[in-house]
């Protein structure tokens, strides 16, 4: 297929067809972020995808870094294999901190682990996600424990948390940061690390969250419209027992069947094979856990160190996961992988001209150049 030179090759193409889960990594890596922020998100206009302001600027960019790290374009083939979802240990966990438990979904494990990381000086800053009254996500970098506690609770809407990395790499002495993210967001970090980009060296801790799928804010608004409520009335969201639960300001609790909500899923979520991130240090979720507990998967020694520290400090309690828990997780992993395989195949055909355009404008591919420079082989998805 002949490529026309006039066509802009950047992330906007896959954003247009819905292959974007709005992790924000491209916003952080775009070189224009120091000035005009050519690739940006504007909460009021497009709450659920990055926008390109000036396409002419993209023409100058030679390696289209945004495409190279995109977690929806570059999904490692190992992720489509159920065997890669191993873990070192599986536990149930619950926070011992009252101020955390009162705010969060289930066991408050994520918030507690973040507080532990800050207190034990594992990291200097954490990337967290706050929301305003209208449920517009507000990603930010912070050192304050209050901010971390306030950010507790799942959001279930796309949030460009990695866009904050731009603030991190801009500063001279920032130290190390911890990132909390759903699998696609951590996959973007993994792509960054696989390419050997420097942003990765700043991230010292990755806490993964279980994710079946997330919703764009616009879609969620439609669902709420059906229930005749507004975003600003919702205080808490939850997914449980095949239903979406909304806790309202006036105390009412509404539900919406998940099966119906899944009809409006983005292609990005349909093709994502990861229930939990194989690249995280620990993964936290509620699948397989009993009421008010979290399931906690320890993925590597760093994750183990963090959890042990949290227990030592008296902030967290854990108990080993029983067989029914691990079986449930395995069941969902298989489900997610098999569905993703099906859709990935479909999209590869359907969006061929989007996905098959050579990602760099120079003759060589970026991974070839990096392989030559570093002497190690770098895998990039064949797309």
Binding interface with another protein (CB under 8 A):
29, 31-36, 57, 60-63, 65, 169-173, 195-199, 362-364, 366, 368-370, 372-373, 375
State in angstroms the smallest separation of the CB of 31 from another protein.
4
**Contact predicate 58/10, CB 8 Å:** yes
State in angstroms the smallest separation of the CB of 54 from another protein.
11
- Helix-helix angle 109-119:301-312, to 10 degrees: 90
Of 166 and 274, nearer to another protein (C-beta) is 166
From the list 164, 162, 180, 175, the residue with the least C-alpha distance to 112 is 180
Encoding tokens for residue 2?
Answer: 């002949």
State in angstroms the smallest separation of the CB of 370 from another protein.
6
Of 10 and 111, nearer to another protein (C-beta) is 10
State in angstroms the smallest separation of the CB of 130 from another protein.
23
Which residues, listed in sequence order, are joined to residue 177 by a DSSP beta bridge?
125, 203
Of 204 and 369, nearer to another protein (C-beta) is 369
Of 308 and 368, nearer to another protein (C-beta) is 368
Torsion angle (degrees, nearest 10) of CA 361, 362, 363, 364: -110
Of 121 and 198, nearer to another protein (C-beta) is 198
Cα separation, 240 vs 278, whole angstroms: 24
Report how far Cα 313 is from the mean position of its chain's Cα atoms: 28
Dump the DSSP string for 29-70. Answer: H-GGGGTT-SEE--TTT-TTS-EES-HHHHHH-SS-HHHHH-
State in angstroms the smallest separation of the CB of 61 from another protein.
6
Q: Which 3 state secondary structure label does DSSP give 164?
A: helix
Of 249 and 373, nearer to another protein (C-beta) is 373
What b-and-e string marks burial along 206-219, b requiring 16 or more CB atoms within 10 Å of the CB? bbbbbbbbbbbbeb
Cα separation, 112 vs 126, whole angstroms: 12
Of 31 and 257, nearer to another protein (C-beta) is 31
State in angstroms the smallest separation of the CB of 92 from another protein.
40
State in angstroms the smallest separation of the CB of 53 from another protein.
12
């Amino acid at each position: 297929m002949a490529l026309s030179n006039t066509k802009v090759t950047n992330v906007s193409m896959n954003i247009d067809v819905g292959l974007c889960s709005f992790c924000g990594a491209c916003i952080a890596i775009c070189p224009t972020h120091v000035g005009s922020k050519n690739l940006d998100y504007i909460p009021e206009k497009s709450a659920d995808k990055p926008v390109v302001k000036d396409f002419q600027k993209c023409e100058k960019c030679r390696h289209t870094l945004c495409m190279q790290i995109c977690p929806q374009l570059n999904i490692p083939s190992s992720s489509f294999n159920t065997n890669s979802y191993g873990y070192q240990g599986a536990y149930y966990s619950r926070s011992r901190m009252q101020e955390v438990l009162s705010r969060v979904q289930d066991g408050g494990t994520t918030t507690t682990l973040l507080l532990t990381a800050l207190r034990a000086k594992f990291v200097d800053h954490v990337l967290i996600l706050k929301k305003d009254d209208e449920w517009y996500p507000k990603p930010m970098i912070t050192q304050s424990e209050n901010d971390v506690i306030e950010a507790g609770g799942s959001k279930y809407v796309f949030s460009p948390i990695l866009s904050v990395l731009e603030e991190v790499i801009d500063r001279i002495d920032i130290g190390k940061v911890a990132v909390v993210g759903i699998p696609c967001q951590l996959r973007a970090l993994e792509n960054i690390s696989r390419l050997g980009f420097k942003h990765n060296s700043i991230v010292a801790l990755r806490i993964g969250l279980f994710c079946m799928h997330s919703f764009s804010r616009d879609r969620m608004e439609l669902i709420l419209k059906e229930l005749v409520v507004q975003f600003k009335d919702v205080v808490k969201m939850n997914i449980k027992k095949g239903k979406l639960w909304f806790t309202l300001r006036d105390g009412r609790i509404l539900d919406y069947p998940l099966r119906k909500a899944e009809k409006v899923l983005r292609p990005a979520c349909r093709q994502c094979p990861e229930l939990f991130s194989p690249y995280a240090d620990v993964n936290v979720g509620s699948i397989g856990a009993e009421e008010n507990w979290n399931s906690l998967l320890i993925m590597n020694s760093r994750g183990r160190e963090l959890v042990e520290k949290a227990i030592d400090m008296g902030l967290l309690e854990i108990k080993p996961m029983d067989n029914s828990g691990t079986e449930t997780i395995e069941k969902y992993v298989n489900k997610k992988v098999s569905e993703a395989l099906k859709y990935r195949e479909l999209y590869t055909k359907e969006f061929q001209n989007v996905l098959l355009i050579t990602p760099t404008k120079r003759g060589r591919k970026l991974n070839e150049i990096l392989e030559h420079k570093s002497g190690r082989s770098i895998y990039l998805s064949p797309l």
